[in-house]
Structure 1
């Protein structure tokens, strides 16, 4: 039987959350090995040592972030080419339907408000974060009377949320895997949380439902895996990243 490995890869701030998911996935026994790989700024150079210790005939790499960025589409795939074994690259975990439940759970735990503000990082160069946030908003309208999507780096801007909400009481959910500078400082400041009227939820990333999303991503990649072709889950502008273990696309 081929030996299967999951690699959860992301920035340093997601390390703790990634380890929680790794422990749950190990207990679930869906693959032989589960490991994490994190970096500060440059995945291609910083992950050399970590990835050199990863072993597996079939390796499933899952980016631990909300949506595709330049790093997930370009830099991380280049780093993954150093792996020995057939690599199947999955989409970031944030777009999965199970994550909607994690977001809803965080919102309910933080507030009894019937209005919800979703806050993603966003990117003015592409629509990956907007597409993921919009899909969650559509599902969450069954649970909240008012749902708005906002972004730090594109419109509609998070600082406008307070002034466009119809409700007097809302809860804001950061669409981030873990606590970081954006969730601790930038979002609370731009939402003017000190003024009251908007409660603030935790990032969704450590929720049990996110572990389910990772497991689903791996199972889909396993079902669709073909040597030397990119995962069909990847967006159209992503580089091919499935390799034969010798760095060939």
Structure 2
């Protein structure tokens, strides 16, 4: 009988372990798998996760990067570290592309300022000057929220690329605004950088919580695992982007972590 494990992988942050453990516990009660494991790292995924990954059980392991969009780590370092998992690894997409996340954004914003025609909803992504993933994720949810929410306007901004967070105060045209960080857990960025760049002390902009332990994030996790199961069952020979990452990225000998 084939055994299955879900492996949630996240970067250490202020409440990251608490958030991942909450989703793991909830997913363990709902998903038809043998185990749900959690692994976190601080700065070097291969070096820090190798030992934990070597101990992961299960013939099939669904490895889920617990973030909203691909980063350097999820594109290179984490796939390389997954080479140490003994089982058949099925590398999953980050959670940010799920339609369920749109609902979480709307709820987080509504907790601070209810949707109305005179309110701007601002989505704050991490962003990157070289990779499109955070922009694509933010644009996807912004488009859905313009159609489905009652906010007068929906804007996007980023920490590392234009439009920048500090421009929001001048780009928003409504009387009031609420900013929602597109982050799973609390980080230095959500706790300090974003509030400072939004100049929250000046008033006029409310600031929502990250996604945290919201149940719809667990729904997104569950859906991604089921999608990977369906793709494997289909066996049409087509390789997903994430599967290619897991197949082609390996630790290198110059790092002292290379595999024979």
Same fold (TM over 0.5): yes
Q: How much does 1:225 deviate?
A: 2.2
TM-score (norm 2): 0.88
CA deviation vs aligned residue, 1:108-161 (integer Å, no higher than 9, x gap): 112225310000000110100000000000111121220000000001001000
CA deviation vs aligned residue, 1:40-75 (integer Å, no higher than 9, x gap): 000000002221221000100000111001100100
Q: How much does 1:168 deviate?
A: 1.7
- Match of residue 194, structure 1, among 195, 201, 208: 201
Q: 1-side partners of 2:214 and 2:248: how far apart?
A: 29
- Match of residue 168, structure 1, among 175, 180, 183: 175
- Where does the alignment leave 5 or more consecutive residues of structure 2 unmatched? 250-257
Q: 1-side partners of 2:247 and 2:221: how far apart?
A: 18
Q: 2-side partners of 1:214 and 1:164: how far apart?
A: 34
Kindly indicate whether residue 123 of structure 2 is the aligned counterpart of residue 118 of structure 1.
yes
Q: How much does 1:230 deviate?
A: 8.3
Q: 2-side partners of 1:241 and 1:103: how far apart?
A: 33
Q: 2-side partners of 1:240 and 1:184: how far apart?
A: 32
Q: 2-side partners of 1:38 and 1:166: how far apart?
A: 40
Alignment correspondent of 1:232: 240
Contact 2:125 2:157 in 1 (8 A): yes
**Residue range with higher mean Cα deviation, 37-46 or 140-149:** 140-149
May I ask how many residue pairs the two structures share in their alignment?
A: 242
CA deviation vs aligned residue, 1:216-248 (integer Å, no higher than 9, x gap): 111111111279x8852639xx624399xxx99
Alignment of 1:1-249 (within 5 A): 1-13=1-13, 14-112=16-114, 114-141=119-146, 142-143=148-149, 144-225=151-232, 232=240, 234=242, 239-241=245-247
Note closer, same or farther for the CA distance 1:217–1:233 as it changes in structure 2 (3 Å cut): farther
Runs of 4+ with >4 A deviation: none
TM-score (norm 1): 0.92
Q: 2-side partners of 1:101 and 1:72: how far apart?
A: 24
Q: 2-side partners of 1:168 and 1:70: how far apart?
A: 38
Query: Which secondary structure state, in structure 2, belongs to the residue aligned with residue 199 of structure 1?
Result: strand
